Amino acid sequence: MRRPSLLNLAAVVGVIVAVALIGMRKVHGGAASHRLLNVSYDPTVELYERLNAQFVDRYRRENGAQIGITQSHGGSSRQARTVIDGEQQADVVTLGLYSDVDALSKQGLIAPHWADRLPHHSQPYYSTIVFVVRKGNPKHIRDWPDLVGPGGEVVTPDPRTSGNGKLSVFAAWGAVVTRGGDEHSARDYLHALLEHTVRLDPGARRAASTFTVEKLGDVQLA
């Protein structure tokens, strides 16, 4: 399988949304009730509440059968792990990271060439990382180097279990390599950044600060 380009992974200006069908059951006509489980990530609760209602109505009209959809939401990487471990028997996954969906593919849960089914290698839109600072921005945080200044404290999710945490790691790496830095410089910066984090256990710091570019996509399995 072809991985996303280094620019996509390192700069992480894109939040990758991949929708992968996992053994979706065939539902025939009739009055029987059927349920599907959509295992998704945190920000999509309201989105799928709206989409599910439209899908259920259309399915009823086109197939003459009533269908229900159960939603499950959490950190993207953690959700992927629960599907891999069999804790959640997903019919559909709608996750926030390419690597989370690809982890399912590596376990044989979805087709090996899932990313080639849609244009742009199934990476349909771009986003960015936003810094939220204290009122008045007393540390004068403007760019990535400012985050590792004296006295700075950073709050970020655990990249081993959180999609947003992983995106923060990708973006920090990309902030160095897209400006001419090499992998060694990127790792040094990432190590310094994680040393400034609070409420992140030492294991997460060690795992994240020893990444190589080849390992970036597999951090949820660390």
> Which of 114-118, 126-130, 133-137, 149-153 shows the lowest per-residue confidence on average (mean pLDDT)?
126-130
pLDDT recorded at residue 26: 39
The Cα–Cα gap between 131 and 154 comes to: 10
> Which of 33-47, 116-130, 167-181, 183-197 shows the lowest per-residue confidence on average (mean pLDDT)?
116-130
CB 9 within 8 A of CB 170: yes
The answer on pLDDT for 77 being more than 60 is: yes
Amino acid at site 214: E
Mean pLDDT value across residues 128-135? 90
Task: Give the three-class secondary structure for 52.
Answer: helix
17-122: CATH number: 3.40.190.10
Q: Is the pTM of this model over 0.75?
A: no
Mean pLDDT value across residues 72-87? 92
Counting Cβ atoms within 10 Å, is residue 82 exposed (0-12), middle (13-18) or buried (19+)? Answer: middle
144-221: CATH number: 3.40.190.10
Mean pLDDT value across residues 82-101? 92
pLDDT recorded at residue 108: 94
The Cα–Cα gap between 92 and 175 comes to: 34
Helices and strands per DSSP (H, E), number in the chain: 7, 4
CB 176 within 8 A of CB 213: no
CB 10 within 8 A of CB 170: yes
Instruction: In the chain, list all ranges with CATH 3.40.190.10.
Output: 17-122, 144-221
Amino acid at site 99: S
Q: What is the largest CA-CA distance in the chain?
A: 67
pLDDT recorded at residue 93: 94
pLDDT recorded at residue 163: 72
> Which of 77-81, 111-115, 199-203 shows the lowest per-residue confidence on average (mean pLDDT)?
199-203
**Which whole-number Å values give the CA distances from 132 to 54, 119, 191, 222, in the listed order?**
35, 33, 21, 27
pLDDT recorded at residue 42: 87
Mean pLDDT value across residues 106-135? 87
Mean pLDDT value across residues 60-68? 92
Q: Where are the alpha helices (DSSP H) in 133-182?
A: 163-177
The answer on pLDDT for 19 being more than 70 is: no
Amino acid at site 70: T
Mean pLDDT value across residues 116-128? 80
Mean pLDDT value across residues 196-211? 73
Task: Give the three-class secondary structure for 164.
Answer: helix
Q: Any idea of the CA torsion for 170, 173, 178, 180, to the nearest 10 degrees?
A: -170
Mean pLDDT value across residues 175-200? 90
pLDDT recorded at residue 159: 80
Mean pLDDT value across residues 119-131? 80
